């Protein structure tokens, strides 16, 4: 029997439109009457959208790794080159509140979905982590059909009463589990230290925890796009990354992706732009201080509340890339006139402010505040990990890099 080429697109379990794959393999999306908007790049007033905007938004929900797509295709008998086919296979739980279903699937809204999950033993969790390269997103486990964007091997899980569990019967996930990256020693400790330091500096970031299953270290990141209601049901909050919201397929500015100007302009469409723009500039300064050269358009997002009001989402995927000599010194988004971190001068921060319409005196206040706090904060967080099972030499490299970057940035206070 030939498969239907239509998927029901749902928000919090409620149908909002249909995604169709044409005979030519192109995508088409059409909103239902009275539906809530799913993306700033796909305004509900326009009603219908063709292949390119569909690929930019819907394709942005899938893993980026070609190897991961091939593994998903093999496991689900799906075409790894087809966004439609992959979403049919794993699109039951995605970033934000969106999900994809066969049109005849029962409609169950999040608020009525019974929470079901199966706790994992330490041995089971270790096994699943080890199998991630061959089974991305823990696919094949208890019929999981969920998707996460990005390149890194990771999985989405539920955490309930401090136990890691596999969601059942369509239950949304609550946390993202990120194992240590084999190419980059101490990546778990690296991201943990950066996010904990950000918390100390008052930046909005998810709660994180380091743990170990057998010999496998992992970082457990609480999803900001999920919450528990009074009945302990998991409610999804909608979100979209900046590339999706702006209609970019490429995430790196040098290759055609968004730059700071695009990002600051996007925040003018949020409910309280001045708050989001101030936070984004703080994030730009913080990423400079911790040596995170990999802050691109998919590492920032817009978060929507249940009424559809938008704001800048908490920051995520922050780690010190400068701790690894083999990684590039180029920034993903040009700062002023330069991509190369070593070339950034005070004039580049001035250009950044001019380009984005941000006050340079306001930026100098942010720099003064963060540089005063960041060195003490990162040192305190690093010291808390000494003589623990998670101590790692990369932590000292990060502290040294923060000290060096703060010294440079202090010159323009």
Q: Which pair of structure tokens corresponds to residue 351?
A: 């250009």
Pick the catalytic residue from 93, 262, 278, 294. Answer: 294
Cβ contacts of residue 168 below 8 Å, gap of 6+? 116, 117, 118, 142
Compute CA 275 distance to the chain's CA centroid, rounded to the nearest angstrom: 20
Q: Which pair of structure tokens corresponds to residue 319?
A: 């780690």
Q: What is the DSSP string of 151-182?
A: SS--EEEEEETTEEEEEETTPPP-EEEEEPPT
Q: Compute the residue count for the chain.
A: 413
Backbone angles phi, psi at 408, to 5 degrees: -65, -45
Is the Cβ–Cβ distance between 42 and 49 less than 8 Å? yes
Q: Which pair of structure tokens corresponds to residue 147?
A: 């998707």
Q: Verify whether residue 294 is a known catalytic residue.
A: yes
Cβ contacts of residue 214 below 8 Å, gap of 6+? 122, 123, 126
Backbone angles phi, psi at 178, to 5 degrees: -120, 105
**Residues with active-site annotation:** 294
């Amino acid at each position: 029997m030939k498969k239907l080429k239509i998927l029901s697109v749902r928000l919090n379990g409620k149908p909002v439109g249909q995604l169709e794959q044409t005979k030519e393999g192109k995508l088409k999306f059409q909103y239902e009457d009275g539906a809530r908007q799913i993306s700033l790049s796909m305004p509900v007033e326009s009603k219908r959208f063709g292949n390119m905007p569909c690929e930019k938004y819907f394709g942005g929900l899938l893993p980026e790794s070609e190897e991961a797509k091939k593994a998903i295709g093999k496991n689900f008998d799906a075409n790894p080159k087809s966004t439609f086919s992959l979403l049919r296979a794993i699109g039951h739980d995605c970033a934000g509140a969106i999900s994809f279903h066969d049109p005849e699937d029962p409609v169950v809204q999040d608020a009525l979905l019974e929470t079901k999950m199966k706790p994992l033993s330490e041995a089971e969790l270790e096994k699943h982590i080890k199998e991630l390269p061959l089974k991305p997103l823990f696919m094949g486990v208890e019929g999981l059909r969920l998707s996460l964007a990005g390149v890194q091997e990771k999985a989405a899980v539920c955490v309930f009463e401090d136990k890691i569990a596999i969601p059942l019967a369509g239950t949304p996930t609550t946390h993202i589990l990120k194992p240590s990256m084999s190419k980059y020693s101490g990546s778990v400790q690296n991201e943990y230290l950066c996010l904990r330091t950000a918390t100390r500096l008052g930046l909005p970031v998810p709660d994180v925890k380091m743990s170990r299953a057998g010999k496998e270290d992992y970082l457990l990141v609480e999803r900001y796009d999920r919450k528990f209601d009074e009945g302990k049901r998991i409610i999804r909050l909608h979100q979209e990354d900046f590339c999706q919201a702006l209609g970019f397929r490429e995430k790196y500015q040098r290759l055609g992706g968004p730059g700071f100007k695009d990002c600051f302009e996007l925040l003018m469409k949020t409910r309280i732009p001045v708050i989001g723009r101030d936070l984004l500039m703080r994030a730009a300064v913080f990423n400079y201080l911790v040596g995170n050269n990999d802050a691109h358009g998919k590492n920032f997002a817009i978060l929507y509340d249940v009424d559809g009001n938008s704001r800048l989402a908490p920051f995520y995927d922050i780690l010190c890339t400068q701790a690894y000599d083999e990684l590039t010194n180029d920034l993903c988004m040009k700062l002023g006139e330069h991509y190369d971190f070593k070339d950034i001068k005070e004039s580049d921060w001035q250009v950044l402010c001019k380009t984005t319409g941000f006050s340079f005196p306001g930026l100098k206040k942010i720099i003064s505040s963060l540089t005063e706090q960041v060195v003490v904060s990162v040192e305190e967080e690093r010291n808390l990990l000494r003589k623990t099972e998670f101590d790692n030499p990369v932590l000292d490299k990060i502290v040294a890099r923060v000290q060096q970057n703060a010294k440079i940035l202090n010159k323009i206070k």
